[in-house]
């Protein structure tokens, strides 16, 4: 999702004018933003955005504030970690806080083909959420599988990547958008 990093109220104002509400603000600096109150969702006015920006600036270790248009859908995760001489282990599952709470993650060694990635996605206990349930639309499985294959290809071609996390993706029937990502070389 389009992201603008703001170090001043003037930069924030300029970014807000180019985006549609609702807006999300995220603290830049702390690794686990949610643990320090560093993620604010569903901001629907300039006044709300400014108020939360001022609050986020005061959190210890915050270097700047990211602003994004809010995306809706199920939260998904895809990541990879280098495993010494064996290459990269690629992981996928539900994202956001569900990644740590449920620990429902599938894995495979990079590179992965489409069939291997699809098998990983379908092996998740939470696959019913991806498919859709109780009148919830679910996620475009093909887009998620493609993302897993692409992450596996990236880390296979760039062995200098030690860790990669895309958490979360926001997935719906029509799109899959990376909302937050981290790469460690």
What would the mean pLDDT of 167-180 be, rounded to a whole number? 94
Q: What is the pLDDT of residues 53-93, one digit of tens each?
A: 999 999 998 999 999 999 999 999 999 999 988 899 999 99
Q: How confident is the model at residue 98, as a pLDDT?
A: 82
1 bridge partner residues? none
pLDDT at residue number 110? 97
Residue 99 has φ and ψ, to the nearest 5°, of -60, -50
Task: Say how many residues make up the chain.
Answer: 185
Residue 30 clears pLDDT 80, i.e. is over it: no
CA distance linking residue 176 with residue 171, whole number of Å: 4
What interhelical angle do 9-17 and 46-57 show, nearest 10? 150
Task: Kindly report the pTM of this predicted structure.
Answer: 0.84
Alpha carbons 185 and 179: distance in angstroms, whole number: 20
Q: What angle do CA 83, 123, 80 make, to 5 degrees?
A: 25
Name the residue with tokens 């939470």: 126
Q: How confident is the model at residue 32 (pLDDT cuts 50, 70, 90)?
A: confident
Q: Give residue 122's pLDDT.
A: 98
Q: What is the mean pLDDT of residues 32-60?
A: 91
- On whether the CB atoms of residues 4 and 49 are closer than 8 A, the answer is no
Contact indicator for 25, 9 with CB cutoff of 8 Å = no
C-beta separation of 25 from 6 below 8 A: no
**Within a 10 A sphere around the Cβ of 44, how many other Cβ atoms?**
11
- Whether residue 31 is predicted with pLDDT greater than 80 in this model: the reply is no
Strands 64-69 and 23-28: antiparallel
> How is the chain split among helix, strand and coil, in percent rounded to 5?
35, 30, 35
C-beta of residue 93 within 8 angstroms of C-beta of residue 126: yes
Among the listed residues 98, 80, 97, the one whose alpha carbon sits nearest the alpha carbon of residue 89: 80
């Amino acid at each position: 999702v389009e992201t603008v990093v703001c170090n001043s109220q003037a930069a924030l104002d300029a970014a807000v004018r180019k985006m549609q509400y609702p807006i999300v603000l995220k603290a830049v600096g702390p690794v686990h933003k949610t643990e320090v109150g560093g993620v604010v969702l569903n901001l629907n006015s300039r006044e709300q955005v400014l108020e939360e920006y001022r609050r986020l600036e005061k959190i210890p270790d915050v270097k700047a504030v990211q602003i994004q248009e809010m995306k809706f859908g199920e939260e998904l995760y895809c990541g990879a970690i280098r495993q010494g001489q064996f290459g990269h282990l690629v992981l996928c599952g539900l994202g956001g806080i569900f990644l740590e709470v449920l620990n429902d993650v599938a894995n495979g060694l990079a590179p992965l083909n489409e069939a291997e990635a699809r098998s990983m996605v379908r092996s998740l206990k939470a696959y019913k959420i991806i498919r859709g349930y109780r009148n919830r639309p679910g996620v475009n499985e093909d887009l998620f599988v493609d993302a897993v294959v692409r992450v596996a290809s990236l880390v296979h071609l760039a062995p200098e990547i030690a860790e990669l996390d895309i958490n979360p993706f926001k997935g719906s029937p029509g799109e899959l958008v990376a909302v937050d990502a981290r790469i460690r070389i």
